[in-house]
Amino acid sequence: MKRLLLTILCIILSIAVWSQDKAVDITILQTSDIHGAFFPYDFIGNKPLNGSMARVSTIVKSERERNPNLILLDNGDILQGQPSVYYYNFIDTTTKHLYLRIAEYLKYDAAGVGNHDIETGHPVYDRIVRESKRPILTANAVRSDNGKPYFEPYAVIDRDGIKVAVIGLITPAIPKWLPENIWEGMRFEDMQESAAKWIKIVKEKENPQVILGLFHAGHNYEYSGENEHTPKNENASLLVAKNVPGFDAVFIGHDHDRYINTIVNVAGDSVIILDPSNNGKYVSELSVNLTLEKGELKSKKVSGHLIDTKDVNIDAEFMREFAEDYKKVEEFVSRQVGILTHSISSRPAFFGPSEFIDLIHRIQLDITGADISFTAPLSMDTEIKAGPIYVSDMFKLYRFENLLYTMALTGKEIDGFLEHSYAIWTNQMKSEDDHLLLLRQDENMRNGRLVNPFYNFDSAAGIIYTVDVSKPAGDRVTIAAMYDGTPFLEDKIYKVAINSYRGNGGGEHLSEGAGIVKEEISKRIISSTDRDLRYYLMRWIEQQGGVTPSLLLSEPEWSFIPTEWAIPAAKKDYKLLFGE
């Protein structure tokens, strides 16, 4: 009898509790574009680093203590950047990857995939997916053979009885930048189409109370001349948030832009957008406050902000946990690979031939045996000092893990390629008082006041040419001859050394400039290195021992004209860019 009464009492209490409103507060934190900045130290520049996972760790622990209902997400582009990831991607491949151990230490719940993660190659990112204890999400990267997602399309995370669904998407522009062997077996679907498909599946199958987007794509869908109707738009995050109803919030990345906004979607609902920039300088924080009545969702309030990590203390426990990894990376970047007779800087590369760029040209021509070399400065402002050259300096010389291609281009296509490069690089000058470079005129200038990304400013080696900045875009380049004095012919096919980003269409030099149909670009590839170009640059310098930087020719191989305008304008623009 007592047992029966006790059972009845329990049922009555359960009904009473069930009938009461229940409030649940969930905190979601997002990191994005960490680029290997695990430690508060720049192993490339040999100096302290703002941001980093060591500061993110402090925030995560504090927020988790404040609210145990915490969800931690990363939005990709974490496997490329600092030597700390390069080391575990390609040097020590037997130890469990540092990224995975940090993810486990901080208790990440899920992670997205970025284009620079894909760029590390199948052996690296397939290993990460295979060994990760957390789901790796990207719904619109699908298998070529059966159309099923290559990664997990979404994850459902439970907090206090609340189901939070997270749908991952990646920028579909990857085939424009990366060689097919790196993403072989995949194709990349339009973000809006994929989101519409998977949000329907998630709602029907999982019935979550909260739906989040984890999109590795930026907010500016007009970037690179695209628009809201462009198929497979590179930065379609806002388009998805607006045109695909159902998302409560969308976490974005890829563009390294600190961004927060609230938009109204086509169904009339508000969607908050959060982008924490890069390198752990900010952390996105989303607060979701829910009220349930009899188990049913009664109300939901979503708000968010960005946490600045600038004044956040470094987590000493984090540093102790990964002290041995720090030491290994430090030893790796401190290895000497050669000697440089005098210092070189990337700064002069914006104003004419430079020893910094010509060193890359020289090595590319030597490795490939090509007739002509194309390359651009991949760092805006960096210097390699005279004396011993270390592994860390190689990350200054060449920032990304591009492959090196040899391609077949006609003389006419080479001319068009360069016309495109200088059109996005230089201004049309009317007098010596004008700017040489194409500069922004507003107050919110990015990339050192440049209108276009500096990593698209390709110059050439192997030919002698001038760039007349008094002429309109598309009519500035005049190629006089080859290096050896032989004629440069428009209808002749030349072998060209070029990095894989450019060689796959990145920057539109080959399509808009050279006029090659995008579907035909890959057919022009003669050969490719099997490892990243930085590896071959490093090996070349080791073989040389001592390196004396110099221009490839005693006279500059190219120049801006008219010199009476270009020279004073270059001095003026130099001060604008670098403050000296």
pTM, rounded to two decimals: 0.89
Q: pLDDT digit string (tens) for 244-275?
A: 999 999 999 999 999 999 999 999 999 999 99
Lowest mean pLDDT among 115-129, 208-222, 442-456: 442-456
Per-residue pLDDT for 109 more than 60? Answer: yes
Angle at 297 between CA 138 and CA 239, to 5 degrees: 35
pLDDT of res. 294: 83
Q: pLDDT digit string (tens) for 372-405?
A: 999 999 999 999 999 999 999 999 999 988 999 9
Per-residue pLDDT for 17 more than 60? Answer: no
Distance CA 478, CA 495 (A): 19
Q: pLDDT digit string (tens) for 494-508?
A: 999 999 999 999 999
* CATH 3.60.21.10 describes domain 22-329: yes
Q: pLDDT digit string (tens) for 421-430?
A: 999 999 999 9
State the pLDDT confidence band at 550, using cuts at 50, 70 and 90.
confident
pLDDT of res. 66: 97
Distance CA 88, CA 77 (A): 15
CATH 3.90.780.10 residue ranges of the chain are 336-578
pLDDT of res. 295: 80
Q: Which burial class, exposed, middle or buried, applies to 252 when counting CB atoms under 10 A from its CB (0-12, 13-18, 19+)?
A: buried
pLDDT of res. 206: 97
Q: Rounded to 5 degrees, what are φ and ψ at 31?
A: -110, 155
Tell me the average pLDDT across 145-158: 97
pLDDT of res. 546: 81
SS3 236: coil
Per-residue pLDDT for 18 more than 50? Answer: no
**Contacting residues for 82 by C-beta, under 8 A, at least 6 apart:** 35, 36, 37, 38, 42, 43, 44
pLDDT of res. 448: 53
Residues 140/110, Cβ–Cβ less than 8 Å: no
Tokens linked to 410: 């006609």
Tell me the average pLDDT across 230-257: 97
pLDDT of res. 224: 79
Tell me the average pLDDT across 178-194: 95
Tell me the average pLDDT across 169-193: 95
What is the DSSP code (8-state) at residue 181? G
CATH 3.60.21.10 residue ranges of the chain are 22-329
pLDDT of res. 12: 47
- The mean pLDDT value of the chain amounts to 93
- The 3 state secondary structure assigned to 90-152 is HHCCCCCCHHHHHHHHHCCCEEECCHHHHCCCHHHHHHHHHHCCCCEECCCEEECCCCCECCE
Task: Return the number of other C-beta atoms located less than 10 Å from residue 10's C-beta.
Answer: 10
Q: pLDDT digit string (tens) for 268-313?
A: 999 999 999 999 999 999 999 999 998 889 999 999 999 999 999 9
Query: Which fold, 336-578?
Result: 5'-nucleotidase;  domain 2 (3.90.780)
SS3 347: helix
State the pLDDT confidence band at 237, using cuts at 50, 70 and 90.
very high
Tell me the average pLDDT across 309-322: 97
Tell me the average pLDDT across 324-341: 96
Residues 93/84, Cβ–Cβ less than 8 Å: no
pLDDT of res. 6: 56
**Contacting residues for 521 by C-beta, under 8 A, at least 6 apart:** 503, 504, 505, 510, 511
Distance CA 455, CA 507 (A): 9
Q: pLDDT digit string (tens) for 335-354?
A: 999 999 989 999 999 999 99
User: In the chain, what percentage of residues exceed pLDDT 90?
Assistant: 87
Per-residue pLDDT for 443 more than 60? Answer: no
